[in-house]
Amino acid sequence: MPGITAAVPTFGTTITFNAVAVAEVLSLNIDGLKLNTIDVTTLADRHRKFVAGLIDSGTISMEVNILSAHSALWDQLDDTAASTAPSAKSFALTFGASGTTHTASGNCFVTDFSVKAGMDSALTASFTMKITGAVTLA
């Protein structure tokens, strides 16, 4: 039937960070998952040759409405201002509504944190997190 799609909707997408649910997420991106390559070309080769190198699992960025209920989350997210060394935190993303979900999970460090306040608008926060290690996709 024309116009019908099997695309996974973003409705119902959730994220937990260090086992704390993040409420009122406005946008969410996973960027930069990439395989590095190593050039193994020799002087005898006519064409360049490569082998697989390390995998960079990329970054997660999100924007959220700031809620008073996020106070426990601030303690987890604000590693950028911590006086002790930041530690990796777990994350779990679930994309889509039940029955059509896809998940991504792993560990990450908060690398950027900013707050945006504007006239006649909600108070929002933006976070960028660098993924460390493998991401489990399901």
Written as tens digits, the pLDDT of the chain (138 aa) is 566 766 777 788 888 888 888 888 899 999 989 999 999 999 999 999 999 999 999 999 999 888 876 665 666 566 555 666 778 889 999 887 767 778 899 999 888 888 889 999 988 888 899 999 999 988
Q: Is residue 128 part of a domain?
A: yes
Query: What is the distance, to the nearest Å, from the Cα of residue 41 to the centroid of all Cα atoms in its chain?
Result: 35
Q: Is residue 108 part of a domain?
A: yes
Q: Determine the structural domain holding residue 128 and report its residue range.
A: 14-137
Question: Is the distance from CB of 87 to CB of 75 less than 8 angstroms?
Answer: no
The CATH number of residue 109's host domain is 2.40.30
Q: How many structural domains compose the chain? A: 1
